[in-house]
Structure formats: C-alpha cells, structure tokens
C-alpha cells in the first residue's frame, strides 16, 4: 500500500505543538472509532483508516521521529520496508489498553489476529471454518454480431469438483493431537508492558481441528478433483471488451466439503473488418459509383444480419452518412438498439479503358467545374 500523503497532525486532528498526552488522547478516540470490528464503515476502509492513524501515532509519539518529520516531512521518517507496516508499530500495549474493556484483551478481535500475526482465519469456537473455492477466470471472445445481439455460449472449463471417492472428506479423519481439536494454540507472551495471551492458528491442522491420517488416493486429501466441465453462459446484447460477468457459486469447490467460488467471465469483442464500433452504433464505409452519386440509385449494404437495400438520392457527395436504424449494437441497459452508419464515398476506378478515357474527357467538358473554395 502507498504511504499516506495526509499530514500526520491532520490525521490525528491535533495541532503541531500538541503534547504527548493530547496525541495519545486523539489516537485513543480515533482508534475506538475506526476499529474495523466497531466501525460502521466497511471493514477494509476502517482497517485502512486504523492503519493510517497508527502510522501517525507511531511517528508523533517518538520525539526523535517527530522532530525529523517536522523538519523534513515524510522523507525524514522512512520505515524499514518503505511504507508503514504493522511490524513498525511499537505501541501494541497502548492498543491493548484502549481495547481491553471493549474486547477483554488481545486475541478477541480478527483485526488483531491479523495485524499482530496470530493467524488470518481465527475461527470462532463452535463454528467450522468452511473453505471457499478459488474463483476461476475465463476469457470469452465474441464476434461483433454476438456482442450486438447477445448470445448463449457454451464454454469448457476445468474446475475442482467434489471427490466422489471419499465423499469430499479427503480421507480418514481424526482429531488433531496438537490443538486437541480446537484449531488454535494459545501462547502466553511476556513483554515489558506485561503479559498477554496471543492465539494462533494450529500449524498442524491449519485451524481445522482435524487432520487426515489416511489421505484419499484420488484427491490426495483435498476432497476435490479437477474435472472438465461445460457451462452455458448467457451474454446480453451490448457488451464490449473489458466487461466481465460474475457467475456466483459456479467456480471451484473448496477443499474438503467447502463451498464454490465464482466464475468470472472476461469479455473480449473481436475487431470486425467491415464495421467499426462507435458506442452502440456501427460504422461502415461503402464505395458508390460516380453515376449513382450524381443521378441516384439503389445499392446493397451489409449489416450484422444480412444485406439491405439503400436508396442513394441524386447529388450525393462523398462522406455523406446514411443511417440504417436499429442495425447497430443492442443496449446493455435495455434501451433501443444502436444504428448502422453508412458513410459513402465516390469510387475512382484504378484502370480506365481507352473508350472510358475518351468518354470521361467528353463528360468533363459537358459538366460544370466543382465550386471554388471560398
């Protein structure tokens, strides 16, 4: 994550000459407000804020760092890895103090488990952690016509499916001896601030409380096997390259009886050699003969669904655009379909027969010259 660019004093809402006591007070107030398990904001946002105020607190509570920050700004207080991480934070004891009455000490909050390295998926007692399968991303190439009209596509994917051989259990299961089935290990830690209990995920069973003693020989204990599968995806009209669709709960199944992740379909629309897309319209350039341009006539024009006849009125100049309504791209939001824009230009033949040359010379004498540019 990028280091925060806001001023540390602003972040904590204190003045430049705030005392340590004032800084502590401000931090305490903000920490309580932004703690991800308490805050009304979303968890990620709250965690970001919590980290931001902690970074400011770390610097401003250290008189030496604070002096350098005052003189040189953030340049003066580089953290070890460049940006502030929780391993740079030296005031765990203060946080413990702040939240003692809220959570009854360390280890009761998911955030603390995460930031102070006590395992990322601490399970709550009595609930089993269910593995969620990985999302699968697939790329889908569509023709312009398919994007314009929508299409039902069948796609082959290789996904983890339940292992039938072991009933997705992964093999013979027994209670983990290391944690006695609780999935966690408690450590008493002593520091100069006192003693606290930290809880970490059991390394033997990875927090599941159970271990596989005889892994299934088909899935090697995963409880799932990769299989090829065909899925059907309905693509609505109007999609374009960069759009994606999330098919919830249709992806890889999680390990040992877990639930399915998602399939994410990345859409890519192939270039069309005839038509260029302009939003929901498509544009096509069509050559017409000199005679048709001057005297009018009918031409055949391709569209995404077959040819149509188009009337060219007399006295049509190159660059004139005719609109064929609703032959463009369907609307993703349910509005009307876009149009086809037919841009005509007068075609000049490359080779002329002697006769054609002579006739043209005669014709040129007969016609008026083009208007002068004013």
Residue 208 burial (C-beta neighbours within 10 Å; 0-12, 13-18, 19+):
buried
Q: What is the smallest separation between the CB atom of 34 and Zn ion, expressed in angstroms?
A: 33
Q: Which residues of 87-121 are buried (b: 16+ CB within 10 A; e: fewer)?
A: eebebbebbbebbeeebeebbebbbbbbbbebbee
Closest to Zn ion by CB, 141 or 187: 187
Q: Which residues would be at the binding site for Zn ion (CB under 5 A)?
A: 163, 165-166, 176, 178-179, 202, 204-205, 216, 218-219
Q: What is the smallest separation between the CB atom of 170 and Zn ion, expressed in angstroms?
A: 6
Closest to Zn ion by CB, 59 or 225: 225
CA distance 54 to 85: 10
Q: What is the smallest separation between the CB atom of 135 and Zn ion, expressed in angstroms?
A: 22
Q: What is the smallest separation between the CB atom of 37 and Zn ion, expressed in angstroms?
A: 25
Q: What is the smallest separation between the CB atom of 119 and Zn ion, expressed in angstroms?
A: 12
Closest to Zn ion by CB, 254 or 328: 254
Coil vs helix vs strand at 21: helix
Closest to Zn ion by CB, 178 or 294: 178
Q: What is the smallest separation between the CB atom of 340 and Zn ion, expressed in angstroms?
A: 55
DSSP letters of 130-178? Answer: PPBPPPEEEEEEE-HHHHHH-EEEEEEEEEEEE-TTTTTS-EEEEE-TT
Task: Give Cα 353 to chain centroid, integer Å.
Answer: 61
Residue 338 burial (C-beta neighbours within 10 Å; 0-12, 13-18, 19+):
buried
Task: Give Cα 301 to chain centroid, integer Å.
Answer: 40
Closest to Zn ion by CB, 51 or 256: 256
Q: Within a 10 A sphere around the Cβ of 182, how many other Cβ atoms?
A: 17
Closest to Zn ion by CB, 200 or 303: 200
Q: What are phi and psi of 199, to 5 degrees?
A: -115, 130
């Amino acid at each position: 994550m990028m280091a925060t660019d806001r001023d540390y004093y602003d972040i904590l809402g204190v003045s430049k000459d705030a005392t340590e006591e004032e800084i502590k007070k401000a931090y305490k107030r903000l920490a309580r407000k932004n703690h991800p398990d308490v805050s009304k904001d979303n968890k990620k946002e709250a965690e970001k804020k919590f980290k931001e105020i902690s970074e400011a607190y770390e610097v401003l509570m250290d008189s030496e760092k604070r002096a350098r920050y005052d003189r040189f700004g953030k340049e003066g207080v580089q953290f070890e890895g460049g940006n502030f991480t929780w391993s740079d934070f030296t005031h765990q004891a203060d946080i413990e103090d702040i939240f003692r009455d809220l959570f009854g000490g360390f280890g009761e909050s998911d955030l603390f488990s995460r930031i102070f390295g006590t395992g990322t998926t601490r399970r709550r007692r009595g609930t089993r952690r269910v593995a969620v399968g990985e999302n699968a991303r697939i790329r889908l190439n569509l023709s312009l016509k398919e994007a314009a009209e929508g299409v039902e596509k069948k796609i082959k994917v290789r996904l983890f499916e339940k292992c039938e051989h072991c009933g997705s259990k992964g093999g013979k299961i027994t209670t983990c001896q290391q944690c006695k089935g609780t999935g966690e290990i408690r450590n008493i830690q002593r520091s100069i601030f006192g003693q606290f209990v930290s809880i970490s995920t059991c390394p033997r069973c990875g927090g599941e409380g159970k271990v596989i003693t005889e892994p299934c020989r088909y899935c090697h204990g995963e409880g799932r096997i990769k299989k090829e599968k065909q899925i059907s995806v309905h693509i609505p009209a109007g999609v374009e390259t960069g759009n994606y669709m999330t098919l919830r709960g249709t992806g890889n199944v999680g390990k040992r009886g877990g639930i399915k992740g998602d399939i994410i379909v990345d859409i890519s629309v192939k270039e069309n050699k005839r038509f260029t897309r302009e939003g929901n319209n498509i544009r096509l350039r069509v050559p017409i003969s000199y005679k048709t341009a001057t005297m009018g006539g009918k031409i055949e024009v391709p569209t995404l669904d077959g040819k149509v006849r188009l009337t060219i009125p007399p006295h049509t100049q190159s660059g004139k655009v005719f609109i064929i309504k609703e032959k463009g791209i369907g609307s993703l939001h349910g509005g009307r379909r876009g149009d086809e824009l037919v841009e005509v230009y007068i075609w000049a033949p490359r080779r002329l027969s002697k006769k054609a040359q002579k006739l043209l010379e005669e014709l040129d004498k007969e016609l008026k010259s083009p208007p002068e540019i004013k």
